[in-house]
Amino acid sequence: MAASRAGHVELGFAELAPAWRLRSEQFPSKVGGRPAWLGASGLPGPGALACALCGRPLSFLLQVYAPLPGRADAFHRGIFLFCCREPPCCAGLRVFRNQLPRKNDFYSYEPPSENPSPETESVCLQLKSGAHLCRVCGCLGPKTCSRCHKVYYCSKEHQTLDWRLGHKQACAQPDHLDHRIPDHNFLFPEFEIVIETEDEIFPEVVEKEDYSEIIGSMGEALEEELDSMAKHESREDEIFQKFKTQIALEPEQILRYGRGIAPIWISGENIPQEKDIPDCPCGAKRIFEFQVMPQLLNYLKADRLGKSIDWGILAVFTCAESCSLGTGYTEEFVWKQDVTNTP
């Protein structure tokens, strides 16, 4: 993804893609599956990727490849978002940023190949740094099976899950371990995020009188509901209508990227103020970078997983200076806005 031009927004759409396009060396933006880690060292550990509310391992939701033109230390730059989908909390969210110069210890200086070797099709559970990844989720796996010492996990929970789904039998014959990984029913479905520039048909600020025409086309039942809410929810309604108008031309968008611009909110409630967005540990302010849209929920098949997740908007804020803290992963900030009783 190229950084958005001033005042412009890049839209992300979920599309199926061959496995090789979603691997780290292709620098993908993607949803679900295992993380395609950018830097191979300094990964967030199990403690950083555990839900603060329920303590369970977070699920990888998506990553956005967002290099910064003109910044040699951010020639490669990725943002990784994780969420908790365990009821009843379903609210734990963590986001991390990683960036690398073009010349680094992990990737070729040249652009990635469009003709990958066959081994790139398989799941990689060890990074170039030597770090092992969890067999279930693909995050840092500091724990190992105490019997065979050949498979790694992020947590006791994932070790137990893998044990039940076949490792118990395979572990008895460590020299004949089956490297095919079973479906643990933990990962979200995997898609590439394909980026397009938003069409500039609607102005950034829609005048209030435009809404009467929009509302008038929504049907009689909706008009009656709006009338009943008008006295105490006029601002709420206006914000929601602006949201609907903004996405109407591309209703399948799952992501809106625009570093430094303002997000579009789905509700007038729970909009963060400047004081609600913590500064980066380097001392710089954090600015808006991208938002995850509710349309993504249609692709996650959360019901199939027996889990319940929901949001209106997930807005990600990152360091305005995109500070460079070595090759590690820096935690950033995500704001969750739920859907309220909007028409």
Tokens standing for residue 111? 């652009």
Question: For the ranges 27-41, 93-107, 175-189, which has the lowest average pLDDT?
Answer: 175-189
Residues 6+ apart with CB under 8 A from 318: 79, 97, 259, 280, 286, 287, 289, 332, 333
Question: pLDDT band at 170, cuts 50/70/90?
Answer: confident
Give the global pTM. 0.86
Tokens standing for residue 93? 């969210």
Higher pLDDT, 307 or 54: 54
Distance CA 167, CA 145 (A): 10
Question: For the ranges 141-145, 147-151, 192-196, 218-222, which has the lowest average pLDDT?
Answer: 218-222
3-state secondary structure of 81: strand
Q: Average the pLDDT over 263-287 and give the result.
A: 95
Distance CA 214, CA 195 (A): 28
Query: What mean pLDDT is reported for the chain?
Result: 84
Q: Average the pLDDT over 105-124 and give the result.
A: 77
Question: For the ranges 44-58, 74-88, 233-247, which has the lowest average pLDDT?
Answer: 233-247
Q: Closest Cα to residue 193, out of 35, 72, 62?
A: 62
Nearest 5°: CA angle at 138, between 279 and 83?
Answer: 45
Question: pLDDT band at 342, cuts 50/70/90?
Answer: very low
Question: pLDDT band at 191, cuts 50/70/90?
Answer: very high
What was the pLDDT predicted at 113?
Answer: 81
- DSSP sequence for 199-265: P--S-SS--TTHHHHHHHTS-HHHHHHHHHHHHHHHHHHHHHHHHHHHHTT-TT--EEE-TTSPPPP
What was the pLDDT predicted at 216?
Answer: 45
What was the pLDDT predicted at 331?
Answer: 96
Question: For the ranges 23-32, 78-87, 123-132, 220-229, which has the lowest average pLDDT?
Answer: 220-229
What was the pLDDT predicted at 227?
Answer: 56
- DSSP sequence for 270-324: SPPPGGGSPPPTTSPPEEEEEEE-GGGHHHH-TTTTT-----SEEEEEEETT---
Question: Cβ distance 14 to 30 under 8 Å?
Answer: no
Question: pLDDT band at 1, cuts 50/70/90?
Answer: low
Higher pLDDT, 307 or 192: 192
Is 178 a residue whose pLDDT tops 50? yes
Residues 142-160 pLDDT 10s = 999 988 888 999 999 999 9
* β partners of residue 63: 30, 80
Question: For the ranges 175-179, 181-185, 286-290, 309-313, which has the lowest average pLDDT?
Answer: 175-179
Q: Average the pLDDT over 296-306 and give the result.
A: 75
Q: Average the pLDDT over 91-100 and give the result.
A: 91
